[in-house]
Structures are given as structure tokens and as C-alpha cells.
Amino acid sequence: MEKNIAVIFGDGIGPEVTRQSIKVLNAIAQQFNHRFNYKYCLMGADAIDKTGNPLPDQTINVCLNSDAILFGAIGHPKYDNDPTAKVRPEQGLLKLRKSLQLFANIRPVNTYPALHHLSPLKSEKLQNVDFIIYRELTGGIYFGKKEVNKDYTEASDLCVYNKSEIERIAHVAFQDAQKRRKKLTLVDKANVLETSRLWRKVVQEIARAYPDVNVDYMFVDNAAMQIILNPAQFDIILTENMFGDILSDEASVLSGSLGLLPSASVGVSTAMFEPIHGSYPQAAGKDIANPVGSILSAVMMLEYFEMYEEAKLVKEAVAWTQTNGFVTKDINAESFYFTNTIGDLITDYVNNRFPAEINPANIELRKSTII
């Protein structure tokens, strides 16, 4: 198969983690006789520095004409600390999501038993944790009217949803639930918010078309607690944009590190694949960032291309590194491997060079001695 992939490195650690995914994808192409063509484009602080615009039109065009988008990370502290900045890197990502109508952001949460000790939760709570957050991505408070008064003493963000925006993501989430453990939890704040009551009403209507799926409803404050108290209860969590943003960061720590988790954004146009972590500027350029979130995002891309065998092989390679102590600094600060080394090891595995051909002593050399 031949696929055109738009690659957006973005900011901070975005380039170095995405490069690892490309290495792995190239190995997959070689092993399975595919052809992946990459087109590199700009977004975020990087794009502002180079063009003055966080999302140049050319990036939108390349993305529209690609089969998928692989994206790194966005954000730079110089904007975070300047609340009055008119142009912000994140505007690029939000505009791209909106332009491509990527209304469903899919964030799977699971754990590696070998990393359970890193989770803030006791390991018995982590047994059978395997859920997916379906976060609505192109509506709600992120995209409602924003206002600030002249003397900057009052501001507002409007949260708006309409029925069809809720319906389209609800269908995707219900269909996925049917393929899994057939349980869907709608997370909202229907005791307070009108938009949440609309979500409940629409989801209740849609649920009738999926009688085999068990639906329950949970207020977001309770959900934040339940993710910690009993995360194994969840199968599919369906929620609006901002609740999904917050809960998915919370849920990521179950796995031991935010750096491990991937995501896919799907909708009307070209799907986009990105790790859920941010640009982690303190680590940029140091070769210490965790590339696994990006590589697992590339796995989701392979699944989207219906390359299931290929996806399975990369997943297996990632699991092999994580369960054998080949991990980055966020996972083990005392004994860690560099970003590039983890990318190489996963690539080697895909190239069928494990475990026989690789000499552990050579891997040892690629290990950091910095403690």
C-alpha cells in the first residue's frame, strides 16, 4: 500500500519523538512492502517563528491532501506566560482540528504490568484497566465566543453544543463500545450545565439504537474521583471537549507516565495522530523525552490504514522495550535510555533483529550514565 502522511513536528519535544515514529514506520514499510511518503509542514510556535502564522494555509492544504497526519506537540513557554499575546501556538492546533472537522479525539488508557510500580495508584487498582476516552474535539467552550472587556477586568468563554455535534461523536463511541465490553459512560455536569443536559438527552435517544450497550451517566466531578478509585470500571467514556481534555491527562498517570499515551483524532477529513503529552520544553533537544506516546500514535495510524498485522508488531515491540527496562527518564530516572535509543530498539525489533542479533552489551552502551 502507498500512503501520504503529513508530518507536523511542532514544538518542544515534538520533532524528536516524531522522528522515532518515522523510523519505526520506515521499518514497517520495508518489512511489509508499503510505501509511506512524508510531507513536512509547520504549525505552532515553530510556524509563528518562521511565518508569523501558527497554521500556515500550506499546512492545511497538505493535510487535506494526505491520508493521515502525524503530529508531535504544541506550545512554548514564551506564550504561556504572556496572557495578552494575540497570536498563540495552540490557535494553530485548534484551527486545524476545526478545519478538518476532527470531531472525535480517541484516547486509549491501559497499563503495562511491568510499570505498575510507577503509577500513583496501588497495583491492585490497575488490574484490568483498559478504557478509551472519546473526547468531543471541535465544539464546546474551546470554540464558543470569547470576550474580554477593554480594561481587561472581565472575560467570558461561551460553551455551545448542538444536537448534531453530539450525535456524530456518540455514534462513533457507541459503535466502538459494541466491539469492546459494551459499556459506555457519558461524563457531564448535567446537574448544573444546560449543554450537559442536552448531551444526556441526545445520548439517551441514541442509546436506543444500541440496545446491547450498557449506558451509564456520571457527573464529571465524580468521574474524576472514580478514575482514581476504580479505573477498571470504565470501558468507553464519552464526554465533551474540556472535560475530556482534563480527564485524559488525569487518566494518563494510571499508566505510569503521560509520555506513554497516544491519541487519534478522526472526523470528516484527514485523521490526525498525536501523543497526548505536551511540548515539554524543558526536555527539548536533550534526547530524554519518551517517544512511546508518539510511536503508539503511529500504531493507531496503522490501524486506521487497516494494517492490523503491522500495528500489532509495533505494539509488541513497544511492550518488549517497556517490560525489559528499555525506558526513558520519565519512567526510570536512575537507569534510562535516550529517546533515539528507544526508537532504534523498537525499529530493530520491527526489523526482526530481536532478540537474537542484538548484543545486550551494545544496548548497554547506549544507556545513559547520568544519574
Residues near ligand IPM, by CB under 6 A: 74-75, 90, 93, 245, 276
- Please say which residue, 75 or 231, places its beta carbon nearer to ligand IPM: 75
Residue that is written with C-alpha cell 477498571 in the block: 232
Catalytic residue among 57, 221, 286, 312: 221
Select the binding partner of residue 74 from Mn ion, ligand IPM, none (C-beta < 5 to 8 A, by kind). Answer: ligand IPM
* Contact yes or no for 248/135 (Cβ under 8 A): yes
Q: Cα separation of 241 and 81, whole Å? A: 24
* Alpha-carbon gap, residue 170 to 134, rounded angstroms: 9
Q: Give the three cell numbers for residue 139.
A: 465544539
93 binds, among Mn ion, ligand IPM, none (CB under 5 to 8 A by kind): ligand IPM
Radius of gyration of the chain (CA): 21
CA distance 214 to 197: 19
Q: Which of 245, 330, 344, 348 is catalytic?
A: 245
Q: How far is the CB of 246 from Mn ion (least distance, A)?
A: 8
Is the Cβ of residue 94 or residue 118 nearer to ligand IPM in the bound state?
A: 94
We find the least distance from the C-beta atom of residue 249 to Mn ion, in angstroms, to be 6
CA distances to 130, 162, 279, 309, 319 from 114, rounded to whole Å, are 15, 43, 26, 24, 9
Q: Is 245 a catalytic residue?
A: yes
Residue 176: contacted member of ligand IPM, Mn ion, none (CB under 5 to 8 Å, by partner type): none
Per partner kind, with CB cut-offs from 5 to 8 A, the member of ligand IPM, Mn ion, none near residue 90 is ligand IPM
Identify the active-site residue in 79, 142, 161, 337: 142
- In contact, 35 and 97? CB cutoff 8 Å: no
Q: How far is the CB of 294 from Mn ion (least distance, A)?
A: 15
40 is catalytic: no
- Whether 38 is catalytic: no
Q: 12 or 291, CB closer to ligand IPM?
A: 12
Cell triple for residue 242? 474540556
The residue (of 3 and 97) whose beta carbon lies closer to ligand IPM is: 97
Question: Can you give 117-181 as a three-state secondary structure string?
Answer: HHCCCCHHHHCCCEEEEEEECCCHHHCCCEEECCCCCCEEECCCCCHHHHHHHHHHHHHHHHHCC
Among candidate residues 66, 89, 35, 88, the one with its CA nearest the CA of residue 272: 66
In 3D space, the residue among 208, 135, 200 whose CA is nearest the CA of residue 169 turns out to be: 135
Give the SS3 label for residue 236: strand
When CB distances are held under 5 to 8 angstroms depending on the partner's kind, the choice from ligand IPM, Mn ion, none that residue 75 binds is ligand IPM
From the candidates 189, 330, 344, 348, which is the catalytic residue? 189
Contacts (CB under 5 A) with Mn ion, residues 206-265? 245
Output 247 or 302, the one with its CB closest to Mn ion: 247
Closer CB to ligand IPM, 240 or 348, in the complex: 240
Nearest approach, Cβ of residue 202 and ligand IPM (Å)? 22
Query: Distance between CA atoms of 127 and 359, rounded to whole angstroms?
Result: 34
Cell numbers linked to 208: 436506543
Q: Is 249 in the active site? A: yes
User: In the annotation, is 189 catalytic?
Assistant: yes
Instruction: Determine the residue with CB nearest ligand IPM.
Output: 90
Minimum CB separation of residue 344 from ligand IPM in Å reads 28
Smallest gap, in angstroms, from Cβ of residue 241 to ligand IPM? 7
By annotation, the residues acting in catalysis are 142, 189, 221, 245, 249
Residues in contact with Mn ion by the rule CB under 5 A: 245
